Amino acid sequence: MNSTEVLFPQGTLTATARVQHVAPAERTLLVVDRTPFHPLDHTWPDQPADTGTVTLAGRAYDVVDVVTGAAGPEGEGLRLGRDIPVRRGTPGWTFVAVHVLATPDGPPAAAPGDEAVLAADPELRADLSRGHTGCHIMSLALNKCLAGLWSKTPRTDPLGNPDFDQAAITESRIVRRGSVDRYRLGKSLRKSGFDSQALTDRLPELEAAVTAQVTAWVEAAAPAGIHCEGPHLDGRRWWTCALPDGEARMPCGGTHLTNTSELGKPEIRFESAPGELVITTGWA
């Protein structure tokens, strides 16, 4: 198999491809040479996979999931998700998008070289792209609004603010038209110079400040996009956004909107728990 050419960074929703591999089962695994579907990343599974349909020999099958796979040297076979034992770029390993098809009536009559027509769900894609772009915008606003709570100078984000998001995040989940981000507020963060107690004490004030900053960037109608260092799944991709505060650029394998004005009205909620901050972002 060759590494999958991915079309989702350009916003593509449909494509014609050639079958590379079919593994019949109750839910058939399908690998094609190019795909518009965004797969779940196995190392940082923040954005869910696209769903949609694949048409083979005139019959449409539901795509219920798309996962990252890696085909190894002879004898290794195809590994999926967290079972992948190597990093991208490891010699002898090829990374592919594996489409999981619902095939309750039996596997499709497909073989390597056959044509496949793929179509990702446009509504799901739009909702997840809004959630992912909004997540990045919120994180940058969070860093800016928390800048005064650092007594030491940590690593900075693309806009030059102390990068609380990267220093403290433990989990990020993109949902339809939103995101949920969890941050640790433990001893190691305090040793790095961050005043966790001040954050907890000023939670409503900081929630309002982040919401105001995000709103300002939405109203600025900042153009955004994805820069790809290669066309295939194992190539590096970067999210970029020309915000009024500067050019934001960060590694990201997800899907995104093309302008902050498409986000809508933010609904941001801060919640604190012992040793943790949870931020829920939604878009109306």
Q: How buried is residue 121: exposed, middle or buried, by Cβ count under 10 Å (0-12/13-18/19+)?
A: middle
Q: Which residue has the higher pLDDT, 97 or 1?
A: 97
CA distance 233 to 1: 13
What does the pLDDT read at residue 73?
A: 85
CA distance 264 to 284: 6
223 Cβ contact list (under 8 Å, min separation 6) = 241, 242, 258, 259
140: left (phi over 0), alpha (psi -120 to 50) or beta: alpha
CB atoms within 10 A of CB 42: 18
- Is the predicted pLDDT of residue 230 greater than 90, yes or no? yes
Give the three-state DSSP class for 104.
coil
Least confident stretch, 99-113, 159-173, 211-225, 246-260: 99-113
What does the pLDDT read at residue 134?
A: 98
CA distance 164 to 167: 5
Strand positions, DSSP E, 188-260: 224-228, 237-243, 246-251
- pLDDT tens, 61-105? 999 999 999 998 877 789 999 999 999 889 999 999 999 999 988
- Is the predicted pLDDT of residue 26 greater than 90, yes or no? no
